Structure 1
Amino acid sequence: MEFLIYIQLAVVLAAIFIGAKVGGIGLGIFGMLGMSILVFVFGLPPGEAPIEVMLMIVAVITAASALQSAGGLDYLVKVAEKILRKNPNRITFLAPIVCYVFTFLAGTGHIAYSLLPIIAEIATESKVRPERPLSISVIASQQAITASPISAATAALLSTSLLGGQGIEMSQILMICIPATIIGVLVGAFVVNFIGVDLEKDPIYLQRVKDGLITHKPASEATDDKGNYKPLIAVILFLMGVFSVVLFGSIPALRPSFIVDGETVTVTMAQIIQIIMMSTAGMILVFAKADVTKAVNGSIFIAGMQAVIAIFGIAWMGDTFFNGNLAFFKDNIQSVVTAYPFLFAFALFVMSILLFSQAATVRTLYPLGLALGISPLALVAMFPAVNGYFFLPNYPTVVAAINFDRTGTTRIGKYVINHSFQIPGFVSTIVAISVGYLIISFM
């Protein structure tokens, strides 16, 4: 019996590995292929398809795509550039804060692509080693996902089949994860100040200057957008949508209730997120004149839909495997994981490296955590552990940061895993989880 379970686990891991290697929608496709083997070959009953999570992600991505189409993201990036250029010497602390705030509000780390070249250029012009602000900024954009009220990962966590069904409210998640991740990022920013030699002493940078590869780039000139208020309108509407989600999530009494067949039924947070964010997209289309075609062809929509397909295949396969063998896991690891919950946090970290998705990691492993009897609040404190995909230097934001650094200080080491993002990533994640546990000890 145990031998068959290990073979099934090998199938699951192989599907994840091959899907991650293929990339894009490959993760979801090969996840579903693994799912078919579990069901038709090993006879496991299909688990619960993550439909609720997928619908929430679709709603949020639609709103963010409309914001991008209306020029709202470009507007926010210009605001960020002004902030950073006014304080160039403090860029190692300001850059990750800006990336954190933008990701927190947008619900997606893809906004970092627009900020990274600005951070790299300002650091280079200010003679600050670009590796420092770039590395922690990428980590900040990941950490903010686990604190954002509208991220796919938070939506997954709040679903009724996970912590939403255990009495955990959005207010509790935000109360724990916002301070935990912010402190984690700030500690990470402090640590990166001691990484590497100063820019003007870095041999790779000096060689590039000698070879004429490093030249001063003039500051970008702001385009004249006077009279065009559509981007600002889009930003305001989007922020109103985010605020509404937080409001309904924090005050359960505000959620509509109905009498159905003699019983009181309250609208769930999953339904509220879907309704509000899709409505927000509609208002952006109407009042900010967003282009629907540009919205569906934008980077946010494409990446978001890939995430939905990935979660569909991988999460369903994971749910099928873990629920089909729940008795085995309870008999063999429940006592250990309950006594040492950090082992489950470690499992979340490793799974996120394989899945490249916080939401997919949540949907895949959190059902097992609940089944093993881990406290829901402890699972919230562990939430930042799903940010492990900085470990391998092949995630898009990591690759982008390396390429945007003309000085060559942000790089992959000889042994691949000794890259620029490793130390700030581990420091921020460990500190965030530790602070999360500290917070729940007082709750």
Structure 2
Amino acid sequence: MIWVELLLLLTCILIGSRLGGIGMGTMGGLGLFIFTFVFHLPPGGPPVTVLFMILAVITALSSMEAVGGLTYLVNIAEKVMRKNPKSITFVAPFVTYALIFMSGTQHVIYALLPVIAEISRKSGIRPERPLSISVIAATAGLIASPISAATVALVGTLAGRQVELSDVMVIIIPSTLLAVLIGAFVVSKRGVDLKDDPTYQKLLSEEKFKDIEGAEVLSGQALKQARGSTFTFFAGVLFVVIIGLFPQLRPEYQEVVNGELVTKQVAMAEAIMIIMLAIAAVIMLAFKAKPQQAVTGSIMRSGIVAVLSILGISWLGSSFFEGNETVIVSEISQLIEGQEWLFALGLFALSVLLFSQAATVVTLVPVAVALGIPTPLIIALYPAVNGIFFLPTYGTILAAVSFDQTKTTHIGKYLLNHSFMLPGLVVTISATAIALLINQILN
């Protein structure tokens, strides 16, 4: 029966990924209905704390977006890249990484991709190089960000093991940064230069190119509000990082437990939620962010899609795991005994199917915990969750291809031979290997 249930689980994931949007969540709900009402499996449970943390962060980000905060960030990133056009292959991925790291969402990369494509073309540099590594750098910056859905999911899922944000950041930030640098070197000489590219030269002779406008330039009161909201949001992020690095700074309170007065400390997950909601309120009060605009913005829309996807799929996975825990733990324990690094392959493979690092984390990390894989090792294998580039159907990949007017960035005749495969594999493997090395040094 377990194989039938596993087939149903995978079928729901595959159909959900094809539907896109909230389809992943709804298919998870359908599978959960069959598991509980037909197969009589336990209903399991959604990762409530993780979902609430994601919602709180999304609320703060959406408030910042409502007054132009994200546009302000993109303006800064664009200026940095335009000042260093000849080094765009190395500058673009690190600017992208920094932007995603600070904002906690890959959404902002869509505004950067046409700028990267234009700067590289006008500098005579093959756009495929900076575009491909920048898309991959965005995924690296996402899992390193202290406020991304993926990192929040990891910390929340491992909360029972007393994991702090600092435990994740000290390993993931240096490993992903070094991996992006390695990836940039690998693609820096990829393909022929534009002057030697026959396809580009033909397009050039036909005058097929047109200048691409950058992001909206803010000025006056709009600039002040955008800048203020951005600094306020980053102050909140900095506060989250500080109390993550120094847990003793989190407030304590007293609570009656079994008739006794017990002193407790605010958990990291609760602290993130409180801080982010408070930041959203400050942005609305001080910089006049309109709640309606925050709700209808692209960040809130994409965030809600992510939450619903995680809700459905992780709940479905929880039901399957709880109903077959004994068999799963027994079989997988024998398989990976002494080779716990194989868990990285599971993270990579599931992320390819789910197109979501956060959904992959909340689905598989509880399995790793049940298998008894050491916490430091789980954190070190976390970079393997970035397999969303493997199939060239993710939004950022398609956008990068469409923005490259030179046609050097491509999908490929055989689907998997696309421009993002090489940098994606290099960065993911390098980040995981470096994270394992850092884990060895620290532990």
Is 1:108 the equivalent of 2:105?
Answer: yes
SS across alignment from 1:382: helix
- In 2: Cα distance, 1:13 partner to 1:222 partner: 43
> Which residue pairs with 1:43 in the alignment?
40
The answer as to whether partners of 1:338 and 1:373 remain within 8 angstroms in 2 is no
SS across alignment from 2:253: strand
> Which residue pairs with 1:165 in the alignment?
160
Q: How many residues align?
A: 437
> Which residue pairs with 2:245 in the alignment?
250
> Which residue pairs with 2:332 in the alignment?
333
Quickly say closer, same or farther: Cα 1:201–1:33, change in 2 above 3 A: same
SS across alignment from 1:434: helix
- In 1: Cα distance, 2:215 partner to 2:412 partner: 35
> Which residue pairs with 1:14 in the alignment?
11
Q: What value does the CA root-mean-square deviation take over the aligned residues?
A: 1.4
- In 1: Cα distance, 2:217 partner to 2:368 partner: 51
- In 1: Cα distance, 2:248 partner to 2:378 partner: 25
Is 1:236 the equivalent of 2:235?
Answer: no
| Aligned mate of 1:119, from 109, 116, 126 | 116
> Which residue pairs with 1:410 in the alignment?
409
Q: Which amino acid letter does the alignment assign opposite residue 353 of structure 1?
A: V
Tell me which moved more, 148-157 or 288-297. 288-297
- In 2: Cα distance, 1:381 partner to 1:366 partner: 12
Q: Which amino acid letter does the alignment assign opposite residue 196 of structure 1?
A: G
Quickly say closer, same or farther: Cα 1:226–1:374, change in 2 above 3 A: same
1:211 CA drift (Å): 2.7
Quickly say closer, same or farther: Cα 1:224–1:270, change in 2 above 3 A: closer
Per-residue CA distance 1:126-158 (angstroms, 9 max, x = gap): 111001000111101111111110011111111
> Which residue pairs with 1:199 in the alignment?
194
Is 1:225 the equivalent of 2:219?
Answer: yes
Question: Structure 1 vs Structure 2: percent identity of aligned residues?
Answer: 47
The answer as to whether partners of 1:187 and 1:428 remain within 8 angstroms in 2 is yes
> Which residue pairs with 1:93 in the alignment?
90
TM-score, normalised by the number of residues in structure 2 = 0.96
Quickly say closer, same or farther: Cα 1:368–1:101, change in 2 above 3 A: same
Per-residue CA distance 1:247-280 (angstroms, 9 max, x = gap): 1111111111122112222111111111111111
Tell me which moved more, 325-334 or 418-427. 325-334
> Which residue pairs with 1:343 in the alignment?
342
Q: Which amino acid letter does the alignment assign opposite residue 182 of structure 1?
A: L
Following superposition, which runs of at least 4 residues in structure 1 exceed 6 angstroms of deviation? none
Is 1:30 the equivalent of 2:27?
Answer: yes
- In 1: Cα distance, 2:23 partner to 2:212 partner: 41
The answer as to whether partners of 1:56 and 1:274 remain within 8 angstroms in 2 is yes
> Which residue pairs with 2:306 in the alignment?
307
- In 2: Cα distance, 1:441 partner to 1:204 partner: 48
Per-residue CA distance 1:35-67 (angstroms, 9 max, x = gap): 111111111111121111111110111111111
1:219 CA drift (Å): 7.0
- In 1: Cα distance, 2:165 partner to 2:423 partner: 27
SS across alignment from 2:441: coil
Gaps of 5+ in 2: none
> Which residue pairs with 2:150 in the alignment?
153
| Aligned mate of 2:176, from 174, 181, 188 | 181
Q: Which amino acid letter does the alignment assign opposite residue 263 of structure 1?
A: V
The answer as to whether partners of 1:143 and 1:387 remain within 8 angstroms in 2 is yes
Q: Which amino acid letter does the alignment assign opposite residue 33 of structure 1?
A: L
1:435 CA drift (Å): 0.5
Quickly say closer, same or farther: Cα 1:163–1:220, change in 2 above 3 A: closer
The answer as to whether partners of 2:144 and 2:169 remain within 8 angstroms in 1 is yes
- In 1: Cα distance, 2:203 partner to 2:191 partner: 17
1:208 CA drift (Å): 1.6
- In 2: Cα distance, 1:349 partner to 1:85 partner: 35
1:224 CA drift (Å): 6.1
> Which residue pairs with 2:356 in the alignment?
357
Per-residue CA distance 1:346-390 (angstroms, 9 max, x = gap): 111010011111110000000111111111111101111111010
- In 2: Cα distance, 1:295 partner to 1:127 partner: 40
The answer as to whether partners of 1:311 and 1:360 remain within 8 angstroms in 2 is yes
Is 1:295 the equivalent of 2:294?
Answer: yes
TM-score, normalised by the number of residues in structure 1 = 0.96
Is 1:432 the equivalent of 2:431?
Answer: yes
SS across alignment from 2:263: strand
- In 2: Cα distance, 1:424 partner to 1:70 partner: 35
| Aligned mate of 1:73, from 63, 66, 70 | 70
- In 2: Cα distance, 1:259 partner to 1:222 partner: 50
